[in-house]
Structure 1
Amino acid sequence: MTFTSILVHAEPDAAASPRLACAVAVAERFDALLMGVGAELLQSTAVADPFGMLAMEWQGVMRQQLEDNLKAAEQTFRLHAGSLRTDWRTLYAPPTDALCGAARAADLIVAGGAPLTGADYWRQADTAELAIRAGRPVLVAPPTHRTFHGDRILVAWKDTREARRAVADAMPFLKRAEAVVVMEVCTKDQVEAAEFHTSEVVAHLKRHGVEASAKVEVEADDRACVELNIQAQAMAADLIVAGCYGHSRMREWVMGGVSRGLIQAPERFVLLSH
């Protein structure tokens, strides 16, 4: 079980650098194809111009800017990729839609964490929407420059379909890890069930050759994300594996508390599956 193709969205600005570096590190580790996507779409604008000349001129300027952005994104991608095997795609579409489509040919998507200031649907991919829609695991890179290792991994367990999917999707990382902890955060009345859940997951992982241990922490639900990061820090884990919980409400993606915290304020790398 391995990753053979890694998909990443490239942009011309510095905000894309952490996710590109992460994608390169994962592609190198698994000797995988690195797939880069440059995607952008012109936003339709309404200009009050009875003769249409100003609107045509403005559209021309914007289209040239779009082409320049996409060329610069490809240059940035190739600079990061170096000698890796690559596949580049230029797509004239909103980035989230473009990546969800391109994911049909990929095993893993690498995306950026933390919403960018003034996020632009026409130029920037929405990490939460990718995790829900793409049908592939999404590795979220924190906005600060970190080197991805994945040697020590924390599995954020919740007895749900999404968490089970996340463990299965993360297996290539888990099988290479030096230490894995399966942790469930629960209330006092759920401890016995949580201990049973985590012990079963540990047994499952060991059957796959993954050495793992279980941990249960008693805390309120709204403290779950904090406790996960505390444990990850304590064990020097740079990767958290978690199910992604959320649903669509008229194009607004409503995320569960832990999912939202891990995406919007990632302190380390996070693998999300839905």
Structure 2
Amino acid sequence: MFASILVHAEPDAEASPRLACAAAVAERFDAVLVGVGAELLQSTGVADPFGMLAMQWQEVMRQRLEDNLMAAEQAFRRHAGNLRTDWRSFYQAPTEALCHTARAADLIVAGGAPLSGADYWRQADTAELVIRAGRPVLVAPPAHRTFHGDRILVAWKDTREARRAVADAMPFLKRAEAIVVMEVCDEDQAHAAESHTAEVVAHLKRHGVAASAKVMVEADDRAGAEINIQARAMAADLIVAGCYGHSRMREWVMGGVSNSLIRAPEQFVLLSH
């Protein structure tokens, strides 16, 4: 059960899908919605021997930061409506603030905005949250849509991260109407994959969760595409996956399922590390 949902609120409209998703999940589980407003004051980067220009610039930017945090809280409360809430503001980089606040949450909602031109001072890094926060992260796609979680695709790989993701997703899985556990693998791994997915389905059944197994034979570089194809085919709006079974650097340079699910999510994605 999720008793508390954590989300980073920003004043920009691009954060709206994330806030709407967090509010929907909090309502679904009758959870407290914890909102974090966080922004870090940037250094001037200006050569000023007398310090006057730097002082003026700092004062302007400090006021802007205060205005942004106030607007972020207003956006948070608009989406929260009548939900039980807890609001916190930090003069801190958002990723750091969320990682620290995660001690008070069961689930973090991130994403919901294009990642191009991400601003460290104002925006949270979803990949860093997954790795460092110690909590599952629900990534909202940039396109605004309503979260349901009624049909779920479990993107299975026989790794620690995938096992953790299934356990973390159990509150969603117990409420879902249809679940497919799918592994994408090379042809010589198909027999093992059938065994893996069947055991996961049996494990879920012992928890009162009905699911079916599926194995797709495809090259590694097609795994992300196949996951999205299957999710669309079964009308799933939630994908559950382990994150960064390989090193993050290798995923970033060479691409990978984790990378594609974070940077270009087509559905809601629950990730665990």
TM-score by length of structure 2 reads 0.96
Q: Distance in 1 between matches of 2:112 and 2:13?
A: 14
Q: Deviations over 1:137-181 (max 9, x none)?
A: 000000001100000000000000000000000000000000000
Number of residues of Structure 1 aligned to a counterpart in Structure 2: 271
Matched to 1:267, the amino acid is E
Shift of 1:45: 2.0
CA 1:11–1:272: 2 relative to 1, 3 Å: same
Number of the residue aligned with 2:50: 51
Q: In structure 2, give the amino acid aligned to 1:262.
A: L
Deviation string, structure 1 residues 181-238 (Cα, Å, up to 9, x no partner):
0000000000000000000000000000000000000000000010011111111100
Q: CA separation in 1, counterparts of 2:156 and 2:11?
A: 37
Structure 2 match to 1:168 = 167
Counterparts in 2 of 1:255 and 1:14: CA distance versus 1, 3 Å = farther
Alpha carbons of structure 1 residues 113 and 226: separation in structure 2 relative to 1, 3 Å: farther
Q: Does 2:171 align with 1:156?
A: no
State the SS of the aligned residue for 2:27: helix
Partner of 2:21: 22
State the partner residue of 2:130. Answer: 131
Partner in structure 2 of residue 198 of structure 1: 197
Shift of 1:49: 1.6
Following superposition, the deviation at residue 114 of structure 1 comes to 5.9
Closer/same/farther in 2, CA of residues 248 and 154 from structure 1, 3 Å limit: closer
> Which residue does the alignment assign to 1:109?
108
Render the CA deviation track for 1:40-86: whole Å, top value 9, x for unaligned: 01111232222111110001000000000000000000011010000
Is this contact kept in 1: 2:23–2:33, CA < 8 A? yes
Secondary structure (helix, strand or coil) at the match of 2:174 reads helix
- Rounded to whole Å, the distance in 2 between the matches of 1:152 and 1:255 is 30
- For 1:114 and 1:32, the matched residues in 2 are separated by 24
User: 1:209 and 2:191 equivalent?
Assistant: no
Asked if the contact 2:15/2:112 (under 8 Å) is kept, the reply is no
Residues 158 and 39 of structure 1: CA distance in aligned 2, closer, same or farther (over 3 Å): same
Compute the RMSD of aligned alpha carbons.
Answer: 1.5
Give the Å deviation of 1:116.
2.8
Aligned residue for 2:153, secondary structure, equals: strand
Q: Residue 91 of structure 1 corresponds to which residue in structure 2?
A: 90
Judge which range, 153-162 or 115-124, deviates more.
115-124
Closer, same or farther in 2 for the Cα pair 1:180/1:248, shift >3 Å?
A: closer
Aligned pair 1:271/2:262, yes or no? no
SS in structure 1 at match of 2:118? coil
Q: Distance in 2 between matches of 1:134 and 1:85?
A: 23
Alignment map for 1:169-248 (pairs within 5 Å): 169-245=168-244, 247=247
Structure 1 residues 224 and 114: CA distance shift in structure 2, 3 A = farther
- Sort the Cα spacing of 1:108 and 1:201 in 2 relative to 1 into closer, same or farther, 3 A: same
Does the CA contact (< 8 Å) of 1:114 and 1:263 recur in 2? no
Aligned partners of 2:17 and 2:112 also within 8 Å? no
Q: How does 1:255-270 map to 2 (within 5 A)?
A: 257-270=256-269
Preserved contact between residue 114 and residue 142 of structure 1 (Cα < 8 Å): yes
| Secondary structure in 2 matching 1:111 | strand
- The CA deviation string for residues 12-46 of structure 1, in whole angstroms up to 9 with x for no partner, is 00011000000000000000000000000111123
The SS at the match of 2:21 is helix
- SS of the residue corresponding to residue 209 of structure 1 reads coil
Q: How far did residue 255 of structure 1 move? A: 8.6
Which residue number corresponds to residue 77 of structure 1? 76
CA distance in 2, matches of 1:256, 1:214: 26
Sequence identity percentage: 83
SS in 2 for 1:162: helix
